[in-house]
Amino acid sequence: MSTTAENIQRQISENPILIYMKGSPQLPQCGFSAQTVQALMSCGERFAFVNILDNPDIRAELPKIANWPTFPQLWVEGELVGGCDIVVEMHQNGELEKLVKAAAERAGAAEGGDNA
């Protein structure tokens, strides 16, 4: 049986764009998660999510691993981008879309997409 920390590391490494949030993209359970996922969705790329309300072990462990105390948390290509304030600011200045599209493009190329 793998540990929670191992599960988190696997999720982060297997998903080029991943958000740990309260609720789901279709039904966020807090305002910060709603704002963050809305900014992410506006980039037009697919992303994975983990509902921390359904995963109390991840909710407890991830802040220690990430050294980031709050949720949501956006991870792109294995790196913590940040939480709501950072993601919304990046969305407003155009950085988020560039970051997300580049990650999605690299992930597509790695999977043998058109750019391979």
Binding site annotation covers 22?
yes
- 8 Å CB contact between 82 and 75: no
Q: Which domain does 77 fall in, by range?
A: 4-108
Binding site annotation covers 43?
no
Binding site annotation covers 64?
no
Binding site annotation covers 85?
yes
Sign of the dihedral through C-alpha 71, 51, 89, 62: positive
Report yes or no on 114 lying in a domain.
no
Angle at 38 between CA 74 and CA 24, to 5 degrees: 70
What CATH number is associated with residue 32? 3.40.30.10
Q: What local confidence, expressed as pLDDT, does residue 98 receive?
A: 97
Report yes or no on 52 lying in a domain.
yes
Question: Could you give the percent of the chain with pLDDT greater than 70?
Answer: 94
Report yes or no on 60 lying in a domain.
yes
28, pLDDT greater than 50: yes
114, pLDDT greater than 70: no
How many structural domains compose the chain?
A: 1
Report yes or no on 115 lying in a domain.
no
Binding site annotation covers 30?
yes
Report yes or no on 113 lying in a domain.
no
What is the mean pLDDT of the segment spanning 39-59? 97
Question: Could you give the percent of the chain with pLDDT greater than 90?
Answer: 91
The residue with greater pLDDT, 110 or 91, is: 91
Report yes or no on 116 lying in a domain.
no
The per-residue pLDDT for range 51-91, each reduced to its tens digit, is 999 999 999 999 999 999 999 999 999 999 999 999 999 99
